[in-house]
Amino acid sequence: MFSEEDLASKEFLKHQLESMRIEVAGENPSPLARLLAERVVATWLQVQFFEGLYALGIKSGVTLSLSQDEHRQKRLDKAHRRHLSAIRTLAQIRKLGPAVQINIAEKQINTIE
């Protein structure tokens, strides 16, 4: 994404992602909310990356075959769906409030956020 010489851009991205993590997690996040906030930020970065690749392909003027173009669009669409899923899951956890029940392989775990 960045060349080795582009340290300023790397640092900017690092600080931007950290700022997003803090903002998305909110005040006093539970461990689960913090984990989901990390996922939201990671999937946001994936969407940005695939959008950049797609735009770079268009900008370069190189004609892609229909299958290559569809492949790039599918990767972008999948990344976008993962991002929306992460956002939706974080919103659901917040909506549930402080008590969360998690069922894993027929075992019930009750947690308090």
Task: Give the C-alpha separation, 49 to 83, whole Å.
Answer: 13
Diameter of the chain by CA atoms? 55
Q: In the structure encoding, which two tokens stand for residue 96, read together?
A: 């549930």
What's this model's pTM, rounded to 2 decimal places? 0.72
Reported as a single tens digit per residue, the pLDDT across 17-72 is 999 999 999 888 889 999 999 999 999 999 999 998 888 877 777 777 788 878 88
Reported as a single tens digit per residue, the pLDDT across 76-98 is 999 999 999 999 999 998 888 76
Residue 60, CA distances (Å) to 56, 66, 67, 94, 96 in order: 6, 16, 18, 43, 47
